[in-house]
Amino acid sequence: MSFDVNEIRKDFPILEQTVNGRPLVYFDNAATTQKPRRVIDKIVEVYTQYNANVHRGVHTLSNRATTAMEESRKTVQAFINAESEREIIFTRGATESINLVANSLGQKYLSADSEVIVSEMEHHSNIVPWQLLENQGKTKVVKWAFDDRGELNLAELEELITDQTKLLAICYVSNTLGTINPIEQIIAIAHSHNVPVLVDASQAIQHFPIDVQQLDCDFLVFSGHKIYGPTGVGVLYGKEQWLNQMPPYQGGGEMIETVSFGGTTFNQLPYKFEAGTPNYVDIIGLGEALRYVNSIGLENIAAYENELLKYATDKIQTISELRQIGTAERRASVLSFVADCAHPFDIGSILDKLGIAVRTGTHCTEPIMQHFGIPGTVRASFAFYNKIEEIDVFYEGLKRAIKMFK
């Protein structure tokens, strides 16, 4: 292990508590991650020292807030190795980032005979925005199915792409199956047919390094709250050549150059896509979260989390009543399973009594449930502040729950 998990845990005040009389075991990290003290302190710092609306101010506080917000943009740019800060748009989260792209492309580039390919393992937020366009007669949504292990077949992608394919929208890591898709190969195939690619990195960005220039993706989205940052802030990365051509998503302050009743001109990137007062406090908090992650190192995080996932997977497989959902060769952080003798909700409730937080249900991926013919799964998802001992507690809790329901 390249770092001391007990030291790391001291950075996360929330982990110190007991729940239902037991030490909290937080295994719901794919839904949201906990915040290190320095992120919480940073938010308090802004509100107590330099809270003021950004960009338009001549006064000192406004300039401080603006500088800190733009520092965050540079931090995000470096974190994903984007070529320019103009390619980093701040949004409310991954969901808004995808809706922005769908809405903007829908205004100008898509029509009734266009096709957008999305995989069967997408989160609803990477399906429904495209279906909304379909309902408006602006595109057709084409499903790329996965196999029973939870892997996508690259040869099938070649078959799905037609002259009408205008975009491939795909997750890097599935939030339910844990599958790490071979995203570089997928992008290369799409590009060989001149199809741009939107990567949903919501479940990847916090687990291993991502270099958008190396991937050559056209768009990439993620939410701040899944990478130890605040809620209410997310990122859309887009290649400048795309963002420059795309029409604005929302209208309002910040995104304009001049406004008159004779007509309005729009601001330059990235502000063209940031209408209204941005969530500058949480944007500043996100920058702090990324600096924190950098201080530990994503390579170290990936190595440690892989150990956790392997240990947990091996343990679960010894419980014969459980069936793992998502057995792809390359997985990250997520372990989903079902039991014939109990509904996922019942297992989750028993675990909660033991202080163990897991998620149960469809995880906003109903098509995955339909694929397997199941109502939902129990999902444990790990972060680098989790411990091997916690997996032991989880394993004992599961055995107890199974015994009760059998």
Q: In what order do the strands lie in the sheet with 322-325?
A: 322-325, 334-339, 377-381, 359-361
Which 286-325 positions form the footprint of ligand PMP (CB under 6 A)? none
User: Considering only residues 100, 105, 171, 212, which one is a binding residue for ligand PMP as defined by CB under 6 A?
Assistant: 171
User: Considering only residues 95, 99, 103, 179, which one is a binding residue for ligand PMP as defined by CB under 6 A?
Assistant: 95
User: Considering only residues 86, 123, 207, 379, which one is a binding residue for ligand PMP as defined by CB under 6 A?
Assistant: 123
User: Considering only residues 93, 129, 344, 355, which one is a binding residue for ligand PMP as defined by CB under 6 A?
Assistant: 93
Torsion-angle region of 162 (φ positive above 0: left; ψ -120 to 50: alpha; else: beta): beta
- Is residue 381 within the footprint of ligand PMP (CB under 6 A)? no
Total residues at interface with ligand PMP (CB under 6 A): 13
Measured from the CB atom, is 203 or 279 closer to ligand PMP? 203
User: Any alpha helices (H) in 166-316, and if so which ranges?
Assistant: 183-192, 212-215, 240-245, 280-296, 298-316
Beta strands 165-171 and 197-200, pairing class: parallel
- Is residue 402 within the footprint of ligand PMP (CB under 6 A)? no
Rounded distance between C-alpha atoms, residue 44 and residue 286, angstroms: 13
- Is residue 217 within the footprint of ligand PMP (CB under 6 A)? no
Task: Give residue for tokens 């001049």.
Answer: 258
- Is residue 369 within the footprint of ligand PMP (CB under 6 A)? no
Residue type, 350: I
Dump strand ranges (E) for 57-164: 88-91, 115-119, 140-144
Torsion-angle region of 131 (φ positive above 0: left; ψ -120 to 50: alpha; else: beta): alpha
Task: Name the nearest CA neighbour of 205 among 87, 29, 15.
Answer: 29
Task: Show the site string, 53-92: x = touches ligand PMP by CB under 6 A, - = not.
Answer: ----------------------------------------
User: Considering only residues 119, 139, 203, 386, which one is a binding residue for ligand PMP as defined by CB under 6 A?
Assistant: 203
In the complex, minimum distance from the CB of residue 368 to ligand PMP, in angstroms, rounded to a whole number: 11
Measured from the CB atom, is 224 or 397 closer to ligand PMP? 224
CB 393 within 8 Å of CB 356: yes
> Of residues 171, 217, 341, 364, which has the active-site annotation?
364
Rounded distance between C-alpha atoms, residue 54 and residue 46, angstroms: 12
Measured from the CB atom, is 198 or 354 closer to ligand PMP? 198
Rounded distance between C-alpha atoms, residue 367 and residue 177, angstroms: 12
In the complex, minimum distance from the CB of residue 94 to ligand PMP, in angstroms, rounded to a whole number: 4
User: Considering only residues 223, 267, 279, 377, which one is a binding residue for ligand PMP as defined by CB under 6 A?
Assistant: 223
- Is residue 380 within the footprint of ligand PMP (CB under 6 A)? no
User: Considering only residues 34, 77, 103, 175, which one is a binding residue for ligand PMP as defined by CB under 6 A?
Assistant: 175
Measured from the CB atom, is 201 or 393 closer to ligand PMP? 201
Which 124-153 positions form the footprint of ligand PMP (CB under 6 A)? 125-126
Q: How many Cα atoms are found within 13 Å in the side-chain-facing hemisphere of 125?
A: 22
Name the one range near ligand PMP by CB under 6 A: 71-79, 82-90, 155-163, 198-206.
Answer: 198-206
Rounded distance between C-alpha atoms, residue 210 and residue 27, angstroms: 24
For residue 284, which phi and psi values (nearest 5 degrees)?
A: -65, -40
Task: Give residue for tokens 């992650």.
Answer: 293
Name the one range near ligand PMP by CB under 6 A: 119-127, 261-269, 379-387, 397-405.
Answer: 119-127
Q: Is 364 considered catalytic here? A: yes
In the complex, minimum distance from the CB of residue 118 to ligand PMP, in angstroms, rounded to a whole number: 12
Rounded distance between C-alpha atoms, residue 398 and residue 174, angstroms: 23
CA distances from 195 to 71, 158, 182, 187, 389 (A): 33, 11, 17, 9, 46
Instruction: Note the Cα 60 to chain centre separation in Å.
Output: 35
Residue type, 339: A
Measured from the CB atom, is 119 or 267 closer to ligand PMP? 119
* Catalytic residue IDs: 364
Binding footprint of ligand PMP on the chain (CB under 6 A): 93-95, 123, 125-126, 171, 175, 200, 202-203, 223, 364
